[in-house]
Structure 1
Amino acid sequence: MTDPAYQRLGLPVTASPFAVLRAAVRALHPDTRAVRGFRAARKRFYRQMLCAHAARQAAGDRLTG
């Protein structure tokens, strides 16, 4: 099952990890990005988006051959 936050990024399977990070950063509200106390949560969110993308790519690779 794919993370709903990852699905809202609307990225193709072929997107690079850097593109995933850019989309994840843009998905967060600017006020959320500005709060220093949320830094650990933001990093966790970015890691989750990268892991979800890697899992989607791996599943796509298995399905195609």
Structure 2
Amino acid sequence: MTIWAACSRGWTRGAHTKMIFGGRWKYIRCEGFDLILFNLETGPDELVDLGTSDTTLHPETRTRM
């Protein structure tokens, strides 16, 4: 069986994907793609990906999660 993973930047075959929910934050790691980070307080629809943002809080949050 082939497993396909959907990430915000497309589809990949056989990718290992993890999602972590931490109240305000949703963090997704999808093998072969950039990290994905959503602030669910300011963007509950998950339309703004902060995964590569350099804003002070975002790298710190990615590291913690």
Larger Rg: 1
* TM-score interval (norm. to shorter): under 0.3
TM (norm. structure 1) is 0.27
The structure richer in strand per residue is 2
The structure richer in helix per residue is 1
TM (norm. structure 2) is 0.27
